[in-house]
């Protein structure tokens, strides 16, 4: 079983690259951002709660996101593996994920980390904001908050996974296809271990 985490700051290309990986490796793609946006557009109770956090570029509380992921993992015991996109985003989420996967004997195989500078992240998100309709992509101060939240809450995960020897850094700048090739190479290294 191949379980991958696609890691990176907001706008690094996690969602974009996850599309290539899930098709190539036939993994179940779990994007917490997408799942939460679906809940918002369906007007569910969870969506109403999540919107309050997401529109300002803040993280949805750990217990909400962890419960959501747990449900999906438990409902899909027969998949070839998972690609986690945008999850985990805090050490508490990473610890919860390790516990869930270990109890099922399917640990994380590797973490592919997309590395992109802050100015390029901001430019990409503002560009997407012109067409996405996403409140969190349209305002430079909200984007700056997302990057600050990433630095404070999510970056510590780099050390968490480096300590587990599961971290694989990838240059996330260049064309989408070039980056897809680098991601594929990193996944090959993960498989060869
Ligand atoms: P996400 O949906 O994960 O948002 P994201 O970080 O913007 O997505 P991503 O990084 O996948 O976008 P991509 O680079 O592919 O989360 C949104 C919000 O949901 C969070 O702020 C938070 O509130 C909440 N949330 C989600 N998960 C959570 C969790 N686990 N815990 C708590 N809260 C959570 O794309 C960016 C743009 O760049 C696109 O327009 C793309 O076309 C472009 N792009 C991609 N690659 C490019 C390239 N090589 N060159 C130029 N442009 C490129």
Tens-place pLDDT, residues 39-52: 999 999 999 999 99
- Catalytic site residue from 89, 124, 166, 182: 89
Centroid of ligand 1 to alpha carbon of 74 (angstroms): 25
Phi-psi group of 4: left, alpha or beta (phi > 0 → left; psi -120 to 50 → alpha; rest → beta): beta
User: How many CA atoms, within 13 angstroms, populate the side-chain half-sphere of residue 166?
Assistant: 19
Q: For the residues 120-131, what does the mean pLDDT come to?
A: 97
Residue listed under structure tokens 């430079």? 140
Residue listed under structure tokens 């945008």? 86
Query: Is 61 close to ligand 1, i.e. is its CB under 6 Å away?
Result: no
Which residues on neighbouring strands pair with residue 30, listed in sequence order? 84
Q: Confirm whether 128 is a catalytic residue.
A: yes
What's the pLDDT score for residue 156? 98
Q: Confirm whether 193 is a catalytic residue.
A: no
What's the pLDDT score for residue 129? 97
Pair 121, 9: CB distance under 8 Å: yes
Centroid of ligand 1 to alpha carbon of 55 (angstroms): 13
pLDDT tens digit sequence for 147-176 = 999 999 999 999 999 999 999 999 999 999
- Catalytic site residue from 51, 124, 146, 166: 146
Centroid of ligand 1 to alpha carbon of 117 (angstroms): 14
Using the predicted structure, report yes or no on whether residue 103 has a pLDDT greater than 90.
no
pLDDT tens digit sequence for 17-28 = 999 999 999 999
Q: Read off the pTM.
A: 0.95
CB atoms within 10 A of CB 189: 11
């Amino acid at each position: 079983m191949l379980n991958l985490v696609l890691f990176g700051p907001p706008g690094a290309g996690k969602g974009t690259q996850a599309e290539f990986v899930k098709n190539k490796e036939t993994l179940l793609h779990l994007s917490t951002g997408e799942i939460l946006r679906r809940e918002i557009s369906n007007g569910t109770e969870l969506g109403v709660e999540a919107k309050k956090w997401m529109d300002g570029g803040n993280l949805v509380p750990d217990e909400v996101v962890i419960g959501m992921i747990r449900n999906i993992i438990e409902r899909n015991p027969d998949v070839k593996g998972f690609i986690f996109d945008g999850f985990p985003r805090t050490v508490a989420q990473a610890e919860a994920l390790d516990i869930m996967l270990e109890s099922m004997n399917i640990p994380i195989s590797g973490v592919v980390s997309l590395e992109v500078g802050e100015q390029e992240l901001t430019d990409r998100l503002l560009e997407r904001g012109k067409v996405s309709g996403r409140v969190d992509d349209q305002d430079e101060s909200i984007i700056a908050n997302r990057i600050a939240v990433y630095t404070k809450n999510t970056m510590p995960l780099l050390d968490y996974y480096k300590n587990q020897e599961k971290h694989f850094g990838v240059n996330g700048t260049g064309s989408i296809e070039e980056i897809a090739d680098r991601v594929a190479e990193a996944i090959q290294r993960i498989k060869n271990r």
